[in-house]
Amino acid sequence: MNIQRLIILVFVVFAAVHTLANGKAEHTVLVVWDGMRPDFVSPELTPTLWQLRTNGVWFANHHSAYPTSTKVNGATLATGLYPQHHNILGNSEYRPQIDPFSSFGTDNLKQVRLGDALMGNKYLGGPTLAELVAAQRQSTAVAGTKEVALFQDRLPRADTGSTNPVLFRDDTLPHSLWDELVKRLGKPPESKSPNEQRDLWTTRALTRVIWEKQIPRYSLLWLSEPDLTQHKHGPGSREALDAIRGSDRNLAHVLDALAKHGKRDKTDLIVISDHGFSSITANADVKKILQRAGLKVEQKFEHPPRQGDILMVGLGGSALLYVIGHGTNVIQRAVTALQQEPTTGVICTRLALPGTFPLSEVRLDAPHAPDIIISFNWNRSPVGQTAGSLAHEANADAKITGGTHTSLSPFDTHNLCVAAGPDFRVGVTNTTPTGNIDIMPTISWLLGITPKPKTDGRVMMEVLTRSTGDAPKTTTRTLQTSITVPRGEWSQHLTITEVEGVRYLDEGNGEFKAK
């Protein structure tokens, strides 16, 4: 056995305690509709999902982790941890020990392997659900049109005799599985908008090939839509609605496969999105803003960086700023410049500077966190028939079109969640706040697995058949801060809800008022 895999397996085995299952279901399937907003669920647009909602639980107050991006929430769904603990702070990040000159994609296999080598196999800061299930000698299967599916189970494995397969975009673990999938299904279609055919290929890879002999104890299917099309055409567009219909058809294929195996009524099924979505109505040219303040800002260093240089990583509705040397003066100058811009929403800093919130408030204070995180300004104004618009990180001259996310807009932070099966109540609308952070601990509890160390999320007992019916206590508060800046007054707020010690970010925004 590969020595690295052996080390990780030993870590995983000791990271969980297994007892008898608390749930009735024989199987659990988690299906992710990337970028799906909950307000697009309807009998006409999503008949399969609507029927599932009718026969199960509708989560009316569900939350994404911030930044509200795919890879951050992929790690949260896998580990049940806040970003400060699972270590993934953006779709792209800057970590000099991995790449001293540029940011890198956090779900890239090569970088993940390097990260594990540098961090003692803790690139993700805790064991994942798939790893814990596998450690109990139960079967798992992961299939994703996007690379983020790798976060569920990244363990190296032999090419022959390996179980618990993982498909992530154009690769598999074990690598030999890819050839088998292509032989059985043909080469996957090229990604395009809408991307239903590529998602269908991934769905068939799971249901026709990987599930051919038996349904695993735990499976995950990650679809690329409607995220891909909403980025190009915007949420609510004709193209985006077609993409949503495609995801609903792929969900129907999953249900049909379960029925074919005689397992539909023995399976807990959760359909979720990683984040919501907003329309783009303005550009936030962060590089130009900071350059006007006399700061040196790059998106990629061409030469070894010097003290005071800033590397900017754009995430769409948010941006990360890394100050080489962490100089207080440079950080303050950058913050002051941003506090005088209408496109700025919420600023969080390592130093908790006046007029900002500390990174800990949004659960992003990891050791490798940036010095500044900006969530861009949003409003409720509709674009077409769809509410929720947002500034995003882009050159000021860039064409404004399409959609984005990753911000603290409520249209980004509130996302889809529906659950149905033997362990979930029937016909229930759950208004108690929940989040992606609760999915892993809830499934683990149903499977009789107690993750160690403890997850940051909670078991959503209120939606389970074993519930007493009593909703847990909920508290909501709004943090506010303001400061006088050279050209006026800056203020920002952050609304937080907590349930049983778990923090959910409802929304946050800021405002600059000129003198």
The fold for domain 3-155+163-276+414-463 equals: Alkaline Phosphatase, subunit A (3.40.720)
d(Cα 412, Cα 430) in Å, to the nearest integer? 19
Q: Which residues pair with 347 in a beta bridge?
A: 374
pLDDT at 467: 83
Q: Count CB neighbours of 230 within 10 A.
A: 32
Amino acid identity of residue 357, one-letter, is: F
pLDDT digits (tens, 9 = 90+) for 185-213: 999 999 999 999 999 999 999 999 999 99
Please say whether the beta carbons of 415 and 435 come within 8 A: no
Nearest to 70 by CA among 315, 271, 286, 284: 315
pLDDT at 6: 46
d(Cα 393, Cα 342) in Å, to the nearest integer? 13
Please name the residues in contact with 136: beta carbons below 8 A apart, sequence gap of 6 or more: 16, 18, 447, 449
Domain boundaries, the chain: 3-155+163-276+414-463, 280-400+475-514
pLDDT at 456: 98
Please state the pTM of the whole predicted model.
Answer: 0.95
Nearest to 289 by CA among 195, 377, 411: 377
Please name the residues in contact with 166: beta carbons below 8 A apart, sequence gap of 6 or more: 142, 143, 149, 150, 152, 153, 154, 172, 173
d(Cα 144, Cα 409) in Å, to the nearest integer? 27
Residues 492, 315, 89: CA angle, nearest 5 degrees? 85
Nearest to 276 by CA among 145, 431, 403, 443: 403
pLDDT at 158: 83
Percentages (nearest 5) of helix, strand, coil residues in the chain: 30, 25, 40
pLDDT digits (tens, 9 = 90+) for 43-102: 999 999 999 999 999 999 999 999 999 999 999 999 999 999 999 999 999 999 999 999
Residues of the chain with pLDDT below 50 are 1-4, 6-14
Q: Look up residue 175 and give its DSSP letter.
A: T
* Bridge-based pairing state of the strands 344-349 and 417-420: unpaired
Burial zone of 499 (CB within 10 Å; 0-12 exposed, 13-18 middle, 19+ buried) = buried
d(Cα 8, Cα 122) in Å, to the nearest integer? 9
What would the 3-class secondary structure string for 310-361 be? EEEEECCCEEEEEECCCCHHHHHHHHHHHCCCCCEEEEEECCCCCCCEEHHH
pLDDT at 3: 45
* Bridge-based pairing state of the strands 428-430 and 57-59: parallel
d(Cα 80, Cα 455) in Å, to the nearest integer? 5
d(Cα 417, Cα 412) in Å, to the nearest integer? 14
